[in-house]
Amino acid sequence: MGSHSVQPPVPIPTPTTPAGREGLEAVLARPGRAVIALDFDGTLADIVPDPEHARAHPGAVEALAALAPKVASVAVITGRPAGVAVRYGGFAGVPGLDHLVVLGHYGAERWDAATGTVQAPAPHPGVAEARAELPGVLHEFDFWRGTWIEEKGQAVAVHTRRAPDPRAAFETLRGPLGELAARHGLILEPGRQVLELRPPGMDKGVALESYVAEVGAGSVLYAGDDLGDLAAFAAVEKLRGGGPDGIPGLLVCSGSAEVPELAERADLLVPGPAAVVDFLAALADQL
C-alpha cells in the first residue's frame, strides 16, 4: 500500500522591517488578541474597470473563515457602503465568520455578522447637493465620456479608469472636485483613478484605532492598497509607537506599482489580492 505524504504548511512571508516582524510575531504568539483588518477593493478584491463588478477574490472567504475563529476579530474597513461590501464579498451567513465586522464608509457604517444588520447615520446633506452639480462640472472640463459616477449613499465618487486618458482626467478634475466638495462641507479623497467626495471626520485610521480599542486588541494587522489606507497605516504606526504600552502591528501593502506612498510605509509587500488571500490562508494554517 502506498503512503500519503503530509504537505508542509505554506510559509508566511517575512516582513522586511523590525516593527513588522514584531507585529507578526505578536499575532502568531497571541492570536486570540489579534485584530486582522483589511481593505476590500484592491486587497480582498481585484480592481476592475466598473466598481459594481468587483467581487472578493476566489478563496478570500474561505481563508477568512479559516482565520477568523483563531483571532480576536476580522474587520473589513472600506470606503464602500457596508452592505455593498458584504454583498460583493459574499460575507453573510458564512460558517466561521460569526465575528466578522465590516466598517463601511470609512467607519461611518457598521455591519456585524452576528446580527446581519447595518448601523448607519443619516446621509450628510452635502453629498446630494454635490452629486447634483457633478454632471455640470464634468461637462465643463469635457471629461464626461469615460468617467463613471458611483453612488455610495454616504459619499459620491468619480472614476476615471475608463476615460481615454485616465491620469489626465484624474489630475484635471482633482482641483474642481476639491472645490465642489469644499462648497458643500465635504472633503475630497483621491484614490486609484477615483476621486471621492465624502463627509469629514471619519477615515480608516479613526475607524481602525476605535475598533482596536473596542476589542482590546494586543496586536493588529492591516492590509491595504490605496491612498485611503494611509490613514490606517498611520494609526498602526501610532499604536505601536506607544512605548511599553504600544500595540505591535504589521502593515501589508497589496501591490505597489500604482501607490508607491503606501508601499514605502509597508512592512510587507504582496503582489495583489491573490497573494493577500495566500498570506491569510498561510497565517490561518500556522495559528
Whether the CB-CB separation of 145 and 162 falls below 8 Å is answered with no
Cell numbers standing for residue 211? 475598533
DSSP state of 214: H
Residue 225 makes CB contacts below 8 A (sequence gap 6+) with: 39, 41, 42, 43, 192, 253, 254, 255, 258, 259, 262, 272
Give the C-alpha separation, 253 to 219, whole Å.
18
Q: What are phi and psi of 95, to 5 degrees?
A: -55, 135
With residue 174 as reference, give the H or E element that holds it: helix 166-183
| Residue 39 designated active-site | yes
Q: Which is the catalytic residue, given 39, 41, 225, 229?
A: 39
Per-residue exposure over 84-103, b if at least 16 CB sit within 10 Å of its own CB, e if not: bbbebbebeebebbebbbbb
Q: Which residues are catalytic?
A: 39
